[in-house]
Structure formats: C-alpha cells, structure tokens
Amino acid sequence: MQLQDILYSQGFGTRRVCAGLIQQGLVQVYASSDAAAPLACTQAAAEFEADGLRFRVQGVDWPYQEKAYLMLHKPVATECSQKPSTYPSIYTLLPSPLRLRPQKGAVQGVQAIGRLDQDTTGLLLLTDDGKFIHRMSSPRHHVPKVYEVTVKHPLDEKQVSKLLAGVVLDDDPKPVRAAACEAVDSHHLRLTLTEGKYHQVKRMVAAVSNRVEALHRSQIGGLVLPADLLPGQWRWLSQEALCLIHEVVS
C-alpha cells in the first residue's frame, strides 16, 4: 500500500495533502514494530505493509488502524454531538485525524456509540466501524452499562428493591428494571442497565422519589474506565479491551 494512501486512510487529509506531508519530510516510518526510531521517507508512492505499521507525522507517533476503536473519559459540560447547542463537543477533545477518517469516500471520522448527557461523565466508546456501532447499540444484545449515581436524598432498601423490580416511566407503560443495583453508601447508588432510554437513569431514580445530583458511567460490558484515564483524555482500545467488549456482543 502506498504511503500516501495509508495516511489518507488514517485521516490525514486528501491524498494530495498526504503526498505533500511526505514530500516535505514531515512523515517518518518505523522499519519494524520494535524499532526505536523512525526513518525518513519522502516518496509518497513508497510501498509498505499497512498492518502493524507505525509512523510519525509532524512529530506525533501513530499506529495504522484499519478501523479505529477508542475510549474517551467524557468530562462534564460537553455534548456528544457534532453540532453542539450549548457546550463544547466531545469531538474537539480528539486529534483531527480521528475526526477526518474517510468512510466510503466521504469524511466521517469516529462516532460515539450512544450518548451521555452534557452533565454526565465517564466511559464513552468511539469508532468508525459501522457494524460494531450497530451491534453495540442493538437492544437485542443487552450490553450492560454501569453507572455511579450520586443522589440528593438518603437511599434505603425500598428504593433499591423498586429499581430492581421495575419502575414505570412516563412514556412507556412497561416497567423498566435495573439489571443490578446496590447502595454503595447513603448517597451513592451503583446501577447497571442493559437498555438505553432518554435520561433513563435520572427518570428511574426520580420514579423512586429521589434525584440524581451527579452521574458517571464507569463500565461498558467487561470494560472498566481506567483509573489513569483522566477527564478529557482518550486512548486506543487494546486487543484485550476489544475482546472484553466482543464477548458481550458476539
């Protein structure tokens, strides 16, 4: 695969822009997976094996990814929208190549799998793999998501029991149940859901006569938000992390 085509597939601009980056000496390529330093390459048409390739563009190292899978620690006061209405978009937290990755000839970039409210923090997955987004979003897979909920009023066993048994929301006569629920302390509820309705956690908590003061998603499937991934930071999903997710949706 030509180097300019590799860069194009990874979101570094049109093929002409990618060729220009290479010809200006702004791209270096690692000769092997364990190479300590990259080598300069100024030939846009130079051929490389894309799988496993590492390269450096304008001083930043990148791994070749046929499909991008990443996690983001969503901070408060951000919106999961390309066109936010009030707060900054989560996509501004990502480097431009991830936002410009082409799909079927058009610029699409990575997309968030589901959304978190502007005041909700925590684990968010993003990818440019449409099939993976569909599998993760499909109700039939019942992907569990764990939320850490800070509530206004003290919790009691009755509230926990109601959430497990099922509560009725305004727009749906069918009771909505928590897959798991525990009171961690008097004002901290750990809630696991396998479906995603609009403002579901807030509405479920309101249905048991309490109120959400803060909401944080700590886990999706078997994947736990790493303690060292700070709000606003992102990272590639490791193969191990992908396996934890695929076990749920396979």
What is the set of active-site residues?
A: 117
Neighbour-count burial for 57-76, b at 16+ CB within 10 Å, e otherwise: beeeebebbeebbbbbbbbb
Long-range Cβ pairs for the range 155-162 (8 Å, 24+): 155/183, 155/186, 155/187, 155/188, 155/189, 155/210, 156/183, 157/183, 158/208, 159/183, 159/208, 159/209, 159/210, 160/189, 162/207, 162/208
Rg (Cα) of the chain, in Å, rounded? Answer: 22
Give the up-direction half-sphere exposure of residue 37: CA atoms within 13 A in the CB hemisphere. Answer: 2
CA distances (Å), origin 188, targets 113, 121, 191, 228: 26, 15, 10, 22
